[in-house]
C-alpha cells in the first residue's frame, strides 16, 4: 500500500536507532572485556573468540533473515532480532562459560537480520538519487552503537560491574524494539505471512544470488576485507589502550566513542561524496587507502605517545574503517531491483560477516605471537592491499 509522508520521514531515524542498539549489544561487551575476562579467567584473545561466535550467529541469521523479513515484515523482524540480542546479553552476564558462549552466538542471531530488514524498508522509502547518503546515515547506527557503548558501559561497570553493564544494554535493545512498533502497520503491510520457512538448501539462496552477479561478487569480497579491519579496531581498541598504552578504562572508552563519532561523520561524508562526486567505487578505493595508512601507523603508538596524537590517529582510523558501510550497502541496493534488495543485502552480508568471524580470531592470535596488538594492526595492510587490487580493476 502507498506510504504516507510521515512514515517515509520516520523510517530513517527509527532504523538508525534500531541499528545503534543492535550495534551496542555487540560492541558493549568488548568495552567491559577487561572485567569480564578476569571474571571468567580468560586471556585477551578470547575477545576474538567472542566476536567470532557473534558473527557466526549473524552469518546464519542474515541468510534466514531474508525469509523472516518476507514472512513477518521488516519491523517485526527487527523487533524479534533486538529481543534476541537482549537475551544474548543476559546469557553473557552469567558466570558460566557455556552460557557465555551461547549468549555470544544469540547476540549474533539478533544482529544478523537488522541490516536486511532496514535495507528493505529504506529501498521503499528513499529516492534512488539519495541512496548512498540515506543508507550512510542509517549505517551511522553502527558507530553510534559504539559511541553508546564507549560512554555508557564504563559508568554502568562502576554501578553494577560487568553484568550490570550488560543488563543496561539489554534495556536499550528493548527500548529500540518498542520505538519501531508505530511503523509496523505501514511497513509490514506487504509481508507474506503464508510463506514457508526455508529448507536447509534454500538458506544459501542469498549467497547463490550474489555468486551469480559479477559486480556483487566483487563488492562482497571488498566488504570481507573491510569488515576484518573494522571489527579488529572496535574489538581490540579498548584492550590496546588499557594494556599496551596504560590508559584508564574511562579514557579508553572515551577514545572508542571518539573513533566511532569519527565513523558517524565519515559515513555521512562518504555517502554524500559517493552520490555527488567520486561515485561508489572510487570512494571505496579512497577509504581502502586511508585504512591501509592507519594500520601501518598503529605500531608507532607507545605509552609515551601524546594523547592528541593517539586521538588523531584513532579518529582517522574510525572515519575510514567504520565509515565505509553506507556506501557499500547503497551500492548493493542500487545494483538490483527494489524487491531483491533484502536478498542481495543478505547475500553480501554473509561475506561481510565471514570477514568478521575470521578477522578477530586471526588478529588476536597473530598479535599474541608478535607480542603486541599494535603490530597485529599493521598486518591488516596485507588484506587491504588485496581489496585495493579488486577495486582498482573493477568497474560498475
Tell me, yes or no, whether 193 lies in a domain: no
Q: Does any domain span residue 302?
A: yes
Classify residue 189: in a domain, yes or no. no
**Would you say 333 and 131 are in contact if contact means Cβ atoms under 8 Å apart?**
yes
Q: At residue 241, does pLDDT exceed 80?
A: yes
Give me the mean pLDDT over the 276-305 stretch. Answer: 89
In a domain, 172, yes or no: yes
pLDDT value at 89 more than 90: yes
Return the higher-pLDDT residue of 118 and 104: 104
For residue 177, is pLDDT > 90? yes
CB 116 within 8 A of CB 348: no
Long-range contacts of 278-284 (CB under 8 A, 24+ apart): 280/132, 280/327, 280/328, 280/330, 280/331, 280/396, 281/391, 281/394, 281/395, 281/396, 283/327, 284/222, 284/324, 284/327, 284/328, 284/391
- Per-residue pLDDT, averaged over 100-128, amounts to 84
pLDDT greater than 60 at residue 1:
no
Residue-wise pLDDT tens digits, 14-42: 888 999 999 999 988 888 877 787 888 88
| pLDDT (tens digit per residue) in 90-106 | 999 888 889 999 999 99
pLDDT at 224: 93
Rounded mean pLDDT, 264-271: 85
pLDDT of residue 52: 82
Is the pLDDT reported for residue 298 higher than 80? yes
Q: What is the pLDDT of residue 173?
A: 94
What does the mean pLDDT of the chain come to?
Answer: 84
User: Does the pLDDT of residue 361 top 80, yes or no?
Assistant: no
Query: Does residue 191 belong to any structural domain of this protein?
Result: no
Q: Give the Cα separation of 335 and 86 in Å (integer).
A: 34
Give me the DSSP letters along 124-176: HHS-GGGHHHHHHHHHTHHHHHHHHHHHHHHHHHHHHHHHHHHHHHHHHHHHH
* Residue-wise pLDDT tens digits, 140-149: 787 788 888 8
CATH number at residue 237: 1.20.1250.20
Contacts of 126 (CB under 8 A, 6+ apart): 12, 134, 135
- Indicate whether 72 pLDDT > 60: yes
The count of domains in the chain is 1
Local confidence band at 198 (pLDDT 50, 70, 90 cut-offs)? low
Predicted pLDDT of residue 171:
94
35 located within any domain? yes
Half-sphere exposure of 333 (CA within 13 A, CB side): 30
Residue 193 has pLDDT above 70, yes or no: no
In angstroms, the Cα distances linking 8 to 25, 124, 175, 225 are 27, 9, 21, 33
139 pLDDT exceeds 80?
no
Residue 195 lies in a domain: no
Q: How confident is the model at residue 86 (pLDDT cuts 50, 70, 90)?
A: very high
- Domain limits at 115? 5-180+203-393
Residue 295's pLDDT is what?
92
Taking each helix axis as running N to C, give the angle between helix 5-31 and helix 214-239, from 0 to 180 degrees, rounded to the nearest 10.
50
Residue 190, pLDDT above cutoff 80: no
Domain-embedded: residue 187: no
Amino acid at each position: 500500500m502507498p506510504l504516507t509522508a510521515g512514515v517515509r520521514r520516520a523510517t530513517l531515524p527509527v532504523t538508525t536507532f534500531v541499528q545503534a542498539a543492535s550495534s551496542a549489544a555487540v560492541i558493549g561487551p568488548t568495552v567491559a572485556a577487561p572485567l569480564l575476562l578476569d571474571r571468567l579467567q580468560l586471556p585477551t584473545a578470547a575477545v576474538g573468540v567472542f566476536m567470532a561466535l557473534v558473527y557466526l550467529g549473524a552469518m546464519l541469521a542474515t541468510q534466514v533473515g531474508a525469509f523472516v523479513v518476507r514472512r513477518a515484515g521488516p519491523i517485526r523482524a527487527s523487533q524479534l532480532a533486538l529481543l534476541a540480542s537482549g537475551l544474548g546479553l543476559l546469557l553473557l552476564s552469567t558466570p558460566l562459560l557455556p552460557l557465555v558462549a551461547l549468549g555470544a552466538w544469540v547476540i549474533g542471531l539478533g544482529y544478523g537480520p537488522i541490516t536486511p530488514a532496514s535495507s528493505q524498508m529504506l529501498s521503499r522509502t528513499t529516492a534512488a538519487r539519495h541512496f548512498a547518503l540515506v543508507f550512510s546515515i542509517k549505517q551511522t547506527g553502527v558507530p553510534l552503537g559504539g559511541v553508546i557503548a564507549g560512554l555508557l558501559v564504563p559508568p554502568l561497570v562502576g554501578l553494577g560491574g560487568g553484568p550490570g553493564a550488560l543488563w543496561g544494554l539489554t534495556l536499550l535493545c528493548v527500548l529500540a524494539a518498542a520505538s519501531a512498533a508505530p511503523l509496523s502497520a505501514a511497513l509490514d503491510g506487504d509481508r507474506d505471512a503464508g510463506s514457508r520457512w526455508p529448507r536447509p538448501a534454500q538458506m544459501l539462496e542469498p549467497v547463490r544470488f550474489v555468486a551469480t552477479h559479477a559486480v556483487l561478487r566483487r563488492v562482497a569480497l571488498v566488504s570481507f576485507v573491510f569488515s576484518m579491519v573494522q571489527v579488529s579496531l572496535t574489538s581490540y581498541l579498548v584492550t590496546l589502550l588499557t594494556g599496551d598504552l596504560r590508559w584508564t578504562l574511562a579514557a579508553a572508552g572515551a577514545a572508542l566513542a571518539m573513533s566511532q563519532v569519527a565513523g558517524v561523520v565519515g559515513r555521512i561524508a562518504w555517502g554524500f561524496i559517493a552520490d555527488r562526486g567520486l561515485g561508489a567505487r572510487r570512494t571505496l578505493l579512497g577509504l581502502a587507502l586511508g585504512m591501509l595508512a592507519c594500520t601501518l601507523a598503529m605500531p608507532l603508538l607507545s605509552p609515551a605517545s601524546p594523547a592528541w596524537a593517539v586521538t588523531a590517529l584513532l579518529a582517522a582510523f574510525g572515519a575510514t574503517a567504520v565509515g565505509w558501510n553506507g556506501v557499500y550497502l547503497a551500492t548493493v541496493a542500487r545494483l538490483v531491483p527494489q524487491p531483491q534488495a533484502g536478498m542481495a543485502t543478505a547475500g553480501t552480508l554473509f561475506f561481510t560477516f565471514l570477514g568478521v568471524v575470521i578477522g578477530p580470531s586471526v588478529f588476536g592470535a597473530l598479535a599474541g605471537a608478535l607480542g603486541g596488538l599494535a603490530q597485529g594492526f599493521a598486518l591488516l595492510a596485507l588484506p587491504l592491499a588485496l581489496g585495493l587490487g579488486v577495486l582498482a580493476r573493477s568497474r560498475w
